[in-house]
Amino acid sequence: MHDVIIIGAGPAGLSAALVLGRCRRKVLVFDSNQPRNSTSAAMHGFITRDGMHPSEFRAVAREQIRSYPAVEFHDTEVTKVERGEGQFTATAKDGRRFTARMLLLATGIVDEIPQIEGFHQFWGKSVHLCPYCDGWEHQDEPIAVYGRGIDGVEFALEMLGWTGELVLCTDGPADFPKDQFARLEAAKIPLIETPVARLEGEGAQITGVRFRDDTVYSCHALFFTAPQRQRSNLARELGCKFSEDGTTLDCKECASTNVPGVFVAGNTSRGLQLVIMAAADGTQAAFTINQALLEADCPKTDAEVGACAVPSTQSADGGAGEREPHIPACARESKVAAP
């Protein structure tokens, strides 16, 4: 039996695998090879890795993790996870079954891409989701913002940090209150409600948005907002709780869920979707999991046996317990008394 099964091998899953490997844990990582940023030309905002291609990042990470022989990878999808007495059984797409004491879900999310002709041609190269990831490369350039409702207005206003030459395209009637029109007018952001016909350009470079009335807005990039969904249904099948909007998993700061033994990391549970944040999430989850395993395996006195029927990070009903896991001195937050 493995100590931990990690489902997902993006920044969160890889980071967790590295830390758990260094903790001498027997880890099995499932990689379905469906990274969210597969179309991106480069990842940004990750110190020491700014500008690195996502595939290179994953390759380097896996190469470094090979130094820890207790961590193994299976390049396949998990179709089912069953929770048993003190263990989880994962069924791979090829029918093989594997067991572990703890489960980490780092399965990520899927962006619902607008169904517009030409969109996929430029997606990840000159059509983007995140200005923090790709805004610098298009600073002061003409940019089209694609979005509906108040989210579209907020996104257009946010993009003013990278360029003053932009337009908001709602691809149909603007679905927001009158005061939002005033906000756009005050920011001098033009609004185009005409439905979009297609995106135009050459190679991976967008050159314009053509509307159904045959007018064209010339631009060097397009940034868009889009609905998102969980890539995997495993969390729901296990009974994990979700946020109010149903997009992300509801978890504690320590990465634990309401289901004992199930932990989450990365975009699966986080609103701020940056590679470096996902990697940090994976580290946090690995730390929490290792502490839970250490405590479960630590010899107990007769008094402790009755008090610790479940890992200390969770109560018997699956919620957060009152007792916090022991934190080594090297990992504690510094607390300096005020003068």
The DSSP line for 230-268 is ES-SHHHHHT--B-TTSSSB---TTSB-SSTTEEE-GGG
- pLDDT, residue 268, reads 66
Q: What is the DSSP string of 278-295?
A: HHHHHHHHHHHHHHHHHH
3-class secondary structure, 115: coil
- pLDDT, residue 131, reads 96
- pLDDT, residue 304, reads 64
Burial (Cβ within 10 Å: 0-12, 13-18, ≥19) of residue 298: exposed
Provide CB contacts within 8 A for 222, sequence distance 6+.
Answer: 122, 126, 127, 128, 143, 144, 145, 146, 199, 206, 209
Comparing 27-41, 207-221, 299-313, 316-330, the range with the smallest average pLDDT is 316-330
pLDDT of residue 331 exceeding 60, the answer is no
Q: pTM value? A: 0.86
244-291 confidence digits (pLDDT tens)? 766 667 666 678 888 999 999 987 666 678 999 999 999 999 999 999
CA atoms within 13 Å, Cβ hemisphere of 31 = 20
- pLDDT, residue 143, reads 98
Average confidence score pLDDT of the chain: 88
Res. 311 pLDDT band, cuts 50 70 90? very low
Bridge-based pairing state of the strands 143-146 and 221-224? parallel
302 — phi, psi (to 5°)? -60, -35
pLDDT of residue 314 exceeding 50, the answer is no
- The encoded tokens of residue 92 equal 């791979």
Report how far residue 251's alpha carbon sits from residue 334's, in angstroms, rounded to the nearest whole number: 24
> What is the C-alpha R_g of the chain?
23
211-256 confidence digits (pLDDT tens)? 999 999 999 999 999 888 888 999 999 988 887 766 667 666 678 8
Structural domains of the chain in order of their starting residue, each with its CATH number? 2-110+228-329 (3.50.50.60), 119-224 (3.50.50.60)
The percentage of residues in the chain with a pLDDT greater than 70, rounded to a whole number, is 85
- pLDDT, residue 245, reads 66
- pLDDT, residue 46, reads 94
Q: What is the DSSP string of 150-161?
A: HHHHHHHHHGGG
- pLDDT, residue 300, reads 77
- The encoded tokens of residue 326 equal 């022991």
Provide CB contacts within 8 A for 233, sequence distance 6+.
Answer: none
